[in-house]
Structure 1
Amino acid sequence: MEDGSGFESERPFLFTLEEIEEATEIFAETKKIGEGGYGDVYYGVLEKQEVAIKRMKSNKSKEFFAELKVLCKVHHLNVVELIGYACGDDHLYLVYEYIHNGSLSDHLHDPQLKGHEALPWDVRIQIAVDAARGIEYIHDHTKTRYVHRDIKTTNILLDEALRAKVSDFGLAKLLERTGAENFMTTRLVGTPGYLPPESVCELQSTPKSDVYAFGVVLAELITGKRALVREIGEPNKMKSLISIVCFFLPFASPISKREVSSVLKNEPSFHLYQLMRNYSNPK
C-alpha cells in the first residue's frame, strides 16, 4: 500500500500479499481468531491499525466479490467496516476493522470459555437496537439495497464498548429498486435455525428473511439458548428456538422463567419480549 497515513479513504485499499503475510506472521495459528465455511480469520496490524483478515480459497470468489461489492458501498456505525483486500497464493483476502469483543454468540453461549462475563440486561437491549439499525440501514437507507441472508449471533460482533456491528456479507444479495421485494435462488442459503419457512420451502429471500432471523437473535438474547436446541429426552433431535418461543407468544405473560436465561430471570423482560414478539413474526 502506497499511502502511509492510515485508512481514511472511502475506497478499500489494495494490499500486497507480502503485507498480509507480515501482518499475520504468515498466518500463524496464534493469530487465528475465527474460522468458518468461507475461510479463516486472522488478527493483524497494518499501518499501525489493528485489523481482522479473512483468508478465503480462490474457489470462494463469488462470496469474496459479493462482500467486497457490498461493503465498498455500505458505511454505518453498526456495520463492520471493510478496509481493504488482497489476492495471491491461490487465496483471496478481505481486511476489516478489528472488533475487540468477538461475536454475540461467544457472549451468549460460551462466555466463560471466551473469558467474557454474562451480558447485563441493558447491554442486551442496546445490542438488539444496534443490530436492528445496521440491518435497517442495508435494507432501506443505502443507494443500492441489500438482503444480508445470514443474520445470526456469530455475525453480530461487539466492540470494546459492547456496541454491535453486523458482519459477514458473503451471502448478501442486491435488491433492485423496482418495487419487487423478493428474489428466487437456486439453492438454500443461510444457517439452520435462522431460516424462515418460505426460504426453506420456496427458496425465496426478502428483507423479511433478515427480519425473521433477527427475531431469532432476539429470542437468543432473551433466553440465552442457541437457535437450535436439543429435544428433551431425544439428544439426536434438534428443535428451533423460535418454535419454542412462539409456543409462549399467545399467552398474556412473558416467556416462562424456565426459558429465560439464568442471568436475566430476576430482571424485567418486557422490553425485549415485546421486540421479539414483533420481529419473530414479520408481516
Structure 2
Amino acid sequence: MEGPVFALIAVAGASIAVAVPCLLVAFFCRQSRRNLKPYCRRRGCSSPSGPALPVSAPDSSSWSFYGSAADACLEKLSLSDLAAATGGFSPDNIIGDGSFGFVYRAVLPSGTAVAVKRLSGDGAAGAGNREFLAELEVLGSLSHPNLARLLGYCAAGRDRILVYELLERGSLDAWLHGGDAEEGGGGEALPWPARLRVARGAAAALAFLHHGRRPPVLHRDVKSSNVLLGEGFEAKLADFGLARIVRGSPAKSHVSTQAAGTAGYVAPEIWLGVGATAKADVYSFGVVIIEMVTGQRPSWPVKAKIGEEEVDMVDWAREKIGAGQASEILDPRMGIGAQAKEMDEVKALLEIAWQCTDSAHKNRPTMEEVVTMLNKI
C-alpha cells in the first residue's frame, strides 16, 4: 500500500508545482491588461480627436501587437477595412510616395477622408517595418499643432500600414514645384504670406521635437515633401520613418553615424560620418527656407547666369545672401517688388536660412532661437 500512496502524493505535489506558477502568470497577465489604459493616460496619450476609424475583430494569424504603451493609444485597423477605403490600394488613389512605400487617399464608411501609408511589404525584417516602428514610437505619443496626427495602424501579415489625418492642400514640395499643386492648389503659386506662415509652423514643430519634450526627437529627414499644408496653409511636419529618440542634450547626442536623409537637404557633417544631431535638422530646415524663397529644388544645380558653371543651390544662395544680393534669387511667382515691405521680410528670412546652413554645425542656431527670430519678422 505504501507504494501507491507515495505515488499519489508525488503526482499531487507535481500537479501543485505546475498549477501555482500558471495561476500566478494568469493573474499578472490579467492585471497588466487592466492597467494598460491607465498607464497610457499617465504617458500623456489620448484618443485621437480626428475621425473615428473602423475597427474589425482581428484574428490571431493576421495581427501583430507591439508591447509599447503608445500602441495601446491607437486604433487597430484590419487590412480589409483599409483595402476597401482605398479602392483596393488603387494607383488612382496615390497622393504621395517615398523610399518605403506609397500614401493613398482613403474614404472611410462615414465619408471622412484620411491618408493611408502602405509600407513596402517586406514583413518584420525589412526597412519598411523599421519605419513603421519608428513612426509608432515617435508619433504614437506626441501631440502638437504642427505635427501630422497619426490616427491608427495595421500590421497584417507582411503589410505595415499607418493612417494619418488627411491634409487636403498636399505638400509644400507640390506647391513649389508642381504635381499635386495642380490638383489641390489649382496650379496657383504659393503667396509670400503663406510661405512665411509655413516657415513658422515647420520651425515650431522642430523646436517642439528638439526642446519641448524629453527625451528629444531628431527628425532626420526634413524636406519640403515632408511639410504638409492644411486649409489655412498651416504647416504640419510628417514622415517620421527615419526619426530617432535620443537621450541627453539633443545638440550633443549622436544617434547614428549612418547617413540618413534626402540628397540636397543633408547636412555636410552627416556625409563625413559625424552622426546626426539636432543641428543637422536645423541645416535641413535652412535648406527648406531657401527652397521656399527661391523656388529652386535643392537636389538640382543652379546656373546663376547663362554660360556660367552650375553650382549647388545652397552654395549659390549663401553667396548671394552674403553679398547682399538676396533680391536676385527670389521666386518671381511671389510677385514681391524691390521696395515692398515683403522684401524686408524675405531678406530677414533668408538671413535666418544663411545661419541655419552654416557648414560648421556649432555655428548654427538652435530651433528655439530660430522660432524667436521668425517671430520678429
Whether the TM-score (by the shorter chain) exceeds 0.5 is yes
> Where in structure 1 are there 5+ consecutive unaligned residues?
none
Q: Which residue of 1 aligns with 2:333?
A: 263
Residues 55-70 of structure 1 correspond to what in structure 2 (within 5 A)? 55-56=118-119, 57=121, 58=123, 59=126, 60-70=128-138
Equivalent residue runs for 1:125-140 within 5 Å: 125-140=196-211
Match in the other structure for 2:171: 103
Return 239-248 or 72-81, whichever deviates more: 239-248
Query: 1:1-283, aligned counterparts within 5 Å?
Result: 6-7=51-52, 11-46=73-108, 48=110, 49-56=112-119, 57=121, 58=123, 59=126, 60-110=128-178, 113-114=182-183, 115-177=186-248, 181-232=252-303, 239-251=311-323, 253-257=324-328, 259-264=329-334, 265-266=336-337, 267-268=342-343, 269-281=346-358, 282-283=364-365
Q: Please, which moves more after superposition, 43-52 or 241-250?
A: 43-52
2-structure distance, mates of 1:102, 1:272:
23
Please tell me the residue identity of whatever aligns with 2:321. Answer: L
The Cα RMSD (Å) is 2.6
Distance 1:238 1:78, change over 3 A: farther
Alpha-carbon distance between aligned partners in 2 of 1:40 and 1:229, rounded to the nearest angstrom: 24
- TM-score normalised by structure 2 residue count: 0.68
8 A contact 1:131–1:165 mirrored in 2: yes
- Distance change in 2, residues 1:133/1:47 (3 Å): farther
Q: Which has the higher strand share?
A: 1
Letter paired with 1:272: L
> Are the aligned partners of 2:286 and 2:353 in contact in 1 as well (CA < 8 Å)?
yes
Change (3 A) 1:29 1:96: same
Shift of 1:254: 4.1
CA shift, 1:22, in A, is: 1.3
Aligned AA (1:14):
K
Q: Distance in 1 between matches of 2:250 and 2:145?
A: 27
Which structure is higher in helix share?
2
User: Structure 1 residues 124 and 21 mapped into 2: Cα distance closer, same or farther (>3 Å)?
Assistant: same
- Summarize the Cα distance change of 1:229–1:180 in structure 2 as closer, same or farther, 3 Å threshold: closer
Q: CA deviation at 1:275?
A: 2.6
Shift of 1:17: 0.9
Q: Give the distance between the partners of 2:77 and 2:211, measured in 1 at CA.
A: 32
Within 1, Cα distance between the matches of 2:261 and 2:332?
29
SS of equivalent residue, structure 1 residue 137: helix
User: Comparing both chains, which one has the higher relative contact order based on Cα–Cα distances under 8 Å and sequence gaps of 6 or more?
Assistant: 1
CA distance in 1, matches of 2:197, 2:148: 17
AA aligned opposite 1:226: R
User: What is the identity, as a one-letter code, of the residue corresponding to 1:78?
Assistant: N
Output the CA distance in 2 between the equivalents of 1:127 and 1:180: 24
Corresponding pairs, count: 276
Q: Is the 8 A contact 2:258 2:273 kept in 1?
A: no
In structure 2, distance between residues paired with 1:153 and 1:45: 26
**Identical aligned residues as a percent:** 32
User: What's the TM-score, normalizing by structure 1?
Assistant: 0.89
Any stretches of 5+ residues in structure 2 without a counterpart? 1-49, 54-69, 359-363, 366-377
* Separation (CA, whole Å) in 2 of partners of 1:250 and 1:231: 17
Larger gyration radius, structure 1 or structure 2: 2
Question: Residue 78 of structure 1 contacts residue 134 of structure 1 at CA under 8 Å; is this kept in 2?
Answer: yes
